[in-house]
Chain A
Amino acid sequence: MADAQHEEQTIRVNGRRQAAEIGLTVERLLERLEITGRYALVERNGSPVPRERFGTVELEPGDEVVIARPVAGG
């Protein structure tokens, strides 16, 4: 049961497990991961999260989060 409880308190970020307390917002997660600068591109459970909602969208245990950035490319 301990494992199940642990699972419930984590999310996955780019495939990697990450602790996530109740009420953790996307904005707070980005700060914690030191993703600063102009653009952070975020998907939650397959849906893109609009930047305006980073401060209000609260992540839930078990969420799959993708964080991407603009990189050099043609």
Chain B
Amino acid sequence: MPAKGTFMSDELTIDGHTFGSRLILGTGRYATDAAMRSAVEASGAELVTVAVRLVDFDAPAGKADITEALPETTHLLPNTAGAQTARDAVRLARLARAGGLPAWVKLEVIPDERYLLPDPVGTLDAAEQLLSDGFTVLPYINADPVLATRLVDLGCHAVMPLGSPIGSGRGLKLRDSIRIIVEQSSVPVIVDAGLGAPSHAAEALELGADAVLVNTAIAVADDPTAMADAFRLAVLAGRHGFRAGLMEERDRATASSPAAGLVTNG
């Protein structure tokens, strides 16, 4: 029997697979592979994303496989970053799976380089193809509740609305829309992109998101390992706060000390 005030067995479940951590990490933009590994370990993340790129025979590290720098127990989530069309995304996902990576995909269809906003039509199209091909599909989307519902209805295993544009660090600019997605979704909602500070991650969990994916904020910190730990704590705090039941906001003040028995009236 867990003590009151603690929350036991609070696992994240995606397509029947459970994870002890609600923090998912991206592996991009770290100064070194060792810094990335250290951050992954400090974050407690069990699921991390990787991208797929051509081997470059002319570059010194052009043949390197990033998964070799990760703890062996890490679950890999291949993304389709670089795909501008549904066709590109499906090709990347199938290539990754054929080579032995998990049949899970963080689906990204992004034709727009300036804001890196995902194409909803292409994403829906690719999701349909990948689902019928047996993939576990986690689509990266703008925070559009109608699109999220359409993707969940198709059979997607999670939805990944953005807080603000990738790498911008601006936090939950689309908070109200994310709240609607959380309210309506029957699968995990993972806020992905734009989280620049641990408080942003806590805020996402507080409003009911099931998990967050963080990359740049940790990778470019002065001390990525310490920042990974800070995000780990923020995710725990946000989740605990959500489960404990947040008070409702009010427009006016309500005193927390008794109004009666004021000494100044004595």
Q: In the complex, which residue of chain B has the Cβ closest to the Cβ of A46? A: B91
A66 to chain B, nearest CB (A): 7
Query: Which residues does chain B contribute within 8 Å of A74, judged by CB atoms?
Result: 26-29, 49, 51, 79, 81, 166, 193, 213, 215-216
Query: Which residues does chain B contribute within 8 Å of A35, judged by CB atoms?
Result: 55, 63
Q: Which of A33, A34, A38, A68 contacts B95 (CB 8 A)?
A: A68
Chain B interface SS verdict (over half): mixed
Query: Which residues does chain A contribute within 8 Å of B66, judged by CB atoms?
Result: 69-72
Within 8 Å of chain B (Cβ to Cβ): is A67?
yes
Q: Which of B33, B52, B79 contacts A41 (CB 8 A)?
A: B52
The digit string for A27-47, where 1 denotes a CB below 8 A from any CB of B, is 000000111011111110000
Q: How large is the interface on B (under 10, 10 to 19, 20 to 34, 35 or more residues)?
A: 35 or more
Query: Which residues does chain A contribute within 8 Å of B29, judged by CB atoms?
Result: 72, 74
Query: Which residues does chain B contribute within 8 Å of A56, judged by CB atoms?
Result: none
The digit string for A45-74, where 1 denotes a CB below 8 A from any CB of B, is 000111100000000000000111111111
Please, how many angstroms separate the alpha-carbon atoms of A51 and B95 in the complex?
A: 10
Q: In the complex, which residue of chain A has the Cβ closest to the Cβ of B36? A: A72
Chain B residues close to A by CB (< 8 Å) = 26-30, 33, 36, 49-57, 63-68, 76, 78-79, 81, 91, 94-101, 166, 193, 213, 215-216
Chain A residues close to B by CB (< 8 Å) = 14, 16, 33-35, 37-43, 48-51, 66-74
